[in-house]
A and B are shown apart, each in its own frame.
Chain A
């Protein structure tokens, strides 16, 4: 009996073994099967603006943000806004690497190569094994605040960021190093809550590093740093379907320290030390006519309150003057995009900052106009899922020059967004 078993086992192993033996040249240490998914996305544009590049750099959204368009130097880092210059712009090459790490994590890296260098746009690991609807993330990533913030530039429906996002948070939005925990409820209706603890280094709104005003003039104060991590984000999102219509809505909250160093600005150099709170509400309604055709209405409202002390720097003496400052500002964008088929899309967007309240304890009242708006329209053609060409027109009524005069800026741009490599699947 034993013999039969043994011989049959032997036969089986022979029969199997014969088929399974790898050719000699393949029995190596080769690890090419473990190469992560790789994709490369390029984004380039040709821009024609009604205002020259030199002029556009000096324009600001009074009381909200300065240096919105064009490329400009900021301290020791020079960063380019997308579609910065008249003529051709190579916005970035985005390299994405992603793979499983082990049975417990995946890892994703998103690198932005531009003519100014390489930026780690995102680099994070995500848990896959927690279960119970829990997902944890650590590293540098786009916060899931609101709807648009998490998406990469090439997933946006327009070439530029909505005005309210760009002015409140800068063109990267809330893109920070930290940790995220999300929980999806065990319900039939999608309901997700999440919280993030982030370093808090957004250049427009959040910061925690000390500011050495005393280096400029010995009589100035030294602005103490805030305890890091200094930014906390929380949100809740829900979604349901009515027939072929999907509705996704969310509420978001962010609170953090603000140490904003604008002492090296050429005009109106200042520093700010205080705390900021940002509220967001988003709503996306998408109706599908068939597999390829849809109508999407997407809107987000952002409202912020910044409270603290502003230190204005005298350009000649470099002495600082402190005033208590409270900013309450709100804005929204609403956009409608119609996808006719796999190739064609057309869309329009309205942007506004409708609240711009600035209270100062002393000095001249801040110039803070409220009717700040922008209109955009776009037409895009995709030859396939991997190549998209988009023509966009913007009329921006939110920009003012140094003399506080409104400067209307009209922009026409044609953007090419091309990708190779792994098939990127977009979430909703």
Chain B
């Protein structure tokens, strides 16, 4: 009888993976690197779409309902889509404040926290710029945070998580050095963006963002602002327009035509462009994009 029971239970213990829902692909990649074979990651958002505007498809409710833990970016990046999913799934393990819920933004120093918060200034993030994963140093902090998180909810595999984290850190630190060398000559260059989603990248490599194509965060381009931007570009001579993959490049193309500066597509996450398959290729691409 006992043997039968064991036989019945065996498959469950073999596949007793923790399923961790994560909001964005980059979180999934870090989590998978550290969790290894002991966890399954379920990524909710597409990497090629605007991280602010993810559609709360009902299929995501099913994913959330079945998750053992949830890791999100935070800093209000998910404010427009994650709350209804958490609410609908009604999973105690994915409720904010549950021990199995991790808000990464609580563990990273946010920059550009607005002094005053008012929507006349556009769709501002009151806690600061939420796109912190685009600085490679921050990836190390996130990896450490996720390692501690995994250990806290699954102490049984602590040694494995520690080993995986150490391996990840070693590899990543080598890459940081390579990217630093690659970007050294770009230091001090002025850039234009569509939305300030490269703030942490720019800060890391000493790029100076002098303007955005959107007049205010979340407000689409206006002709007056575009003309002002063209004047600014003519005066300040930035190297290029660093453009995300999800907004239309129509206005940027117009600016490029009027000023002669090139548009450089900057993927923000894994899957944003076809050949961005993992975290390393994301930063390889970003650090090689500006010519």
Contacts and interface: CB of A to CB of B under 8 A. Distances in A.
B168 interface: no
Contacts of B111: none
B217 to A, nearest CB: 10
Contacts of A246: 55, 57-59
Contacts of A342: 220
Contacts of B122: 384
A317 interface: no
A286 B56 CA distance: 12
A187 B90 contact: no
Interface stretch (B20-28, B78-86, B139-147, B259-267): B78-86
A135 B89 CA distance: 8
Nearest to B216: A384
B84 A135 contact: no
Interface in B89-137: 89-93, 95, 97, 119, 122-123
B56 A428 contact: yes
B69 to A, nearest CB: 14
A427 interface: yes
Contacts of A127: 90
Contact of A190 (B61, B92, B93, B220): B61
A241 B90 contact: no
A423 interface: yes
Nearest to B76: A423
Nearest to A291: B50
Contact of A426 (B82, B84, B91): B84
A425 B248 CA distance: 24
Contacts of A130: 90, 92
A129 B50 CA distance: 31
A184 interface: yes
Interface string A166-206: 00000000000000001011111111100000000000000
B155 interface: no
B220 A343 contact: yes
Identify the interface centre among A187, A191, A426: most chain B CB within 10 Å of its CB. A426
B10 interface: no
Nearest to B219: A384
B59 A241 contact: yes
Contact of B119 (A135, A286, A386): A386
Contacts of B63: 188
Given A129-B92, A426-B84, A292 B59 contact: no
B66 A186 contact: yes
B97 to A, nearest CB: 7
A133 B62 CA distance: 9
Interface residues of A, number: 45
Q: Which of A342, A343, A384, A425 has the most CB of B within 10 A?
A: A425
A411 interface: no
Contacts of A385: 80, 123, 218
A382 to B, nearest CB: 10
Interface string A369-387: 0000000000000001110
Interface in A237-269: 237, 239-241, 246, 248
Contacts of B248: 341
B246 interface: yes
Contact of B62 (A126, A189, A291, A384): A189
Given A239-B57, A428-B55, A184 B62 contact: yes
Contacts of B65: 133, 184, 186
Which of B53, B62, B90 has the largest number of chain A CB atoms within 10 A? B90
A248 B88 CA distance: 15
B87 interface: yes
Interface of A: 103, 106, 126-131, 133-135, 182, 184-192, 237, 239-241, 246, 248, 286, 288, 290-292, 294, 341-343, 384-386, 420, 423, 425-428
17 contacts: A128-B95, A131-B93, A133-B90, A188-B62, A190-B61, A241-B57, A241-B59, A248-B58, A290-B49, A291-B53, A292-B53, A294-B55, A341-B220, A385-B80, A385-B218, A425-B81, A427-B87
What 4 pairs across the A-B complex have the smallest Cβ distances? A239-B58, A135-B90, A291-B50, A427-B84
